[in-house]
Amino acid sequence: MSGITVSAVTMMGQKHKGRGVPCEDSSIAVQRDGVSVVVVADGAGSKQYTHARFGSKSACDTVSELLINYFDALYYENREAAVRSLIIAAVHVGFANLMEQHKLDTLDRLSCTLLFCAVKDRRVLIGHIGDGLIACVSESGVHPITMPQNGTNASSTYFVTAPHAADYLRLIKTTTDDIHGIALMTDGVQDSVYDENSGLIKPVVAQMVETAAQGREKSEKDIENILSQFIVGASNNSDDASFGILLFDGTKAPDKSKLPKSADKFGRSQDTFRDLQNDFAPEYKKAKQIIANCAGNPAPEGTAADSESEGVREHARAVPVRKNENESAAPETKVKIDTNPPGKSSWLLKAVALLELIAIIVLLIKIFILGG
């Protein structure tokens, strides 16, 4: 596809080399039928995630094919929740085949993060669940598009296998206007080039994206060299690393001499989302009662209004499950966040969930049966 150059590189980290553990990252860059796609994924590394390397590869293959074959359907669907659910469902379809092939007992064994970007003409569709980083390079500089998705600390993240994973999949629809390039990276690269306290991305990311101006083959060799020298090879404890690029020909690169090398830290109050939920719940309960009264159907105590206001207070709680294989190494351990919410839910929420499930099934039938 003229106008866009793509590349993707995955390298095993020194930590896995030293332990004789396979690389658990995967990446893919594809151009077909007018669509350019880059996908990267980081397989979970703790002992229970025995086949995460197969999961990350399957997720990259499945999502890249889905985006190429059904870009328009995904881009123009207004029900974002349905799109997110379908993407996760498609990943799980691929995982089901792996479970049967490898005789696995649970989906969690294939756990991984997922980051993708697809471009068709000027339209861009981006998705991200878990840690890692997607960055935009433009004439004005380098800035995050989606940032690492962690829990209460940097040692927790979300996987495509988590309950309600679709709720945590971030989707962005935009255009290529004013974009020079897009970079996608797993946390093995992100940890070295991104400061979460200030949002600053190091200038080396712009340099890595610019390698694609020399064509895919040369770009991937140069990225491998940069990763080997400054990221994977910089520490005996380095993680697996994946880096993907989409470069738009004829666009302006940033002036490297003007790219900032430092930035002030973000200010942050002590307020949490849990505090907001607790503060808002009484107002929400009162509003529901007013709406019911105005409709001539007062909500009895202890039913819909009470249950839904309670739902406003409740939120997914992080229950750590170790991500990396060395369970005794707490400082470098990633954990999975349990996204399964508490059991209090109203009949309305159950009905909505049922309708969404039916919609997903219908969409899957169209894609995987009628579409074939």
Which domain CATH number covers 72?
Answer: 3.60.40.10
Q: Is the model's pLDDT at 363 over the cut of 80?
A: no
Q: Is the pLDDT of residue 318 over 60?
A: no
Please answer whether residues 83 and 74 qualify as being in contact, where contact means their C-beta atoms are separated by less than 8 angstroms: yes
- Cα distance between residue 164 and residue 167, in whole Å: 6
Spatial neighbors of 313 by CB under 8 A, at least 6 apart, are 277, 278, 281
β-strand partners of 4: 248
In a domain, 62, yes or no: yes
Q: Which residue has the tokens 């990259």?
A: 60
Is 59:93 a contact under the CB 8 Å cutoff?
A: no
What local confidence, expressed as pLDDT, does residue 365 receive? 67
Q: Give residue for tokens 């209460």.
A: 152
Question: Would you place residue 238 in the very low, low, confident or very high pLDDT band (cuts 50, 70, 90)?
Answer: very high
> Which is nearest to 41 in space by CA: 142, 164, 160?
160
Q: Angle 330-336-339 (CA atoms, 0-180°, nearest 5)? A: 145
| Closest-CA residue to 117 (of 53, 164, 68) | 68
Asked if residue 140 lies in contact with residue 58, where contact means CB atoms within 8 angstroms, the answer is no
The full 3-state SS of 48-67, as one line of letters, equals CCCCHHHHHHHHHHHHHHHH
Q: What is the pLDDT of residue 337?
A: 67
Is 319 within a domain?
no
Instruction: Render pLDDT for 80-96 as a digit per residue (tens, 0 to 9).
Output: 999 999 999 999 999 99
Give pLDDT, residue 306: 53
Contact 55, 271 (CB under 8 A): no
Q: Which domain holds residue 111?
A: 4-255
pTM over cut 0.85 = no
Exposure on the CB side of residue 194, measured as CA atoms within 13 A = 25
The pLDDT score that the predictor gives to residue 331 is 39
Residue 104 CA neighbour count, 13 Å, CB half? 21
Token pair belonging to 108: 């969690």
Q: Judge contact between 128 and 169, C-beta under 8 A.
A: yes
How confident is the model over 13-55, as pLDDT tens digits?
998 888 888 999 999 999 999 999 999 999 998 888 989 999 9
172 and 145 Cβ atoms separated by less than 8 Å: yes
Does residue 170 belong to any structural domain of this protein? Answer: yes
Largest CA distance in the chain: 70
Taking only the tens place, the pLDDT of each residue in 108-143 is 999 999 999 999 999 999 999 999 999 999 999 999
Look at the chain and report how many structural domains it folds into.
1
Mean pLDDT of the chain: 87
Is there a domain that residue 312 lies in? no
In a domain, 168, yes or no: yes
Residue-level pLDDT at 368: 62
Residue 299 lies in a domain: no
CB 130 within 8 A of CB 158: yes
Give domain status of residue 363, yes or no.
no
Q: Which residue has the higher pLDDT, 88 or 315?
A: 88
Q: How many angstroms separate the CA atoms of 29 and 11, rounded?
A: 15
pLDDT on residue 317: 45
pLDDT band at 300 (very low <50, low <70, confident <90, very high): low
Domain membership flag for residue 342: no
